[in-house]
Amino acid sequence: MFYTAVFKPSKTMDYSDQAKKLAGKTIAVQDGWMISEGPFEGQQCYYIPNSHVGWIPACDLKGLEPISYTRWQEIVKSLELE
């Protein structure tokens, strides 16, 4: 599934420089997996394909909501991650 949310990075997660530049912005993410260890154990995580952002725990995504694939592509392109 495809989602949009505002990225609000927590201080617990050590994000890449690319991810830090997205703080406070609306981003497009895809379903990831359940985190099995660490401070985010048991949470769903999400990711931005073809980026160096890495996985993002659900608690760092505010207003997470499903969107169409077309809208998701538009948001990904607007982020200029490449």
Q: What is the pLDDT of residues 9-48, one digit of tens each?
A: 998 899 999 899 999 999 999 999 999 999 999 999 999 9
Cα separation of 37 and 24, whole Å? 26
What six digits make up the tokens of 81?
Answer: 């991650």
Higher pLDDT, 61 or 50: 61
Following CA atoms 12, 63, 17, 78 in sequence, which dihedral angle do they give, to the nearest 10 degrees? 170
Q: How many domains does one find in the chain? A: 1
Owning domain of residue 49: 2-78
In this structure, the number of other CB atoms found within 10 A of the CB of residue 50 comes to 9
What is the arithmetic mean of pLDDT over 57-78? Answer: 95
What confidence tens digit (pLDDT) does each residue in 51-65 have?
889 999 999 999 999
Beta strand 61-66 with 44-47: parallel, antiparallel or unpaired?
unpaired
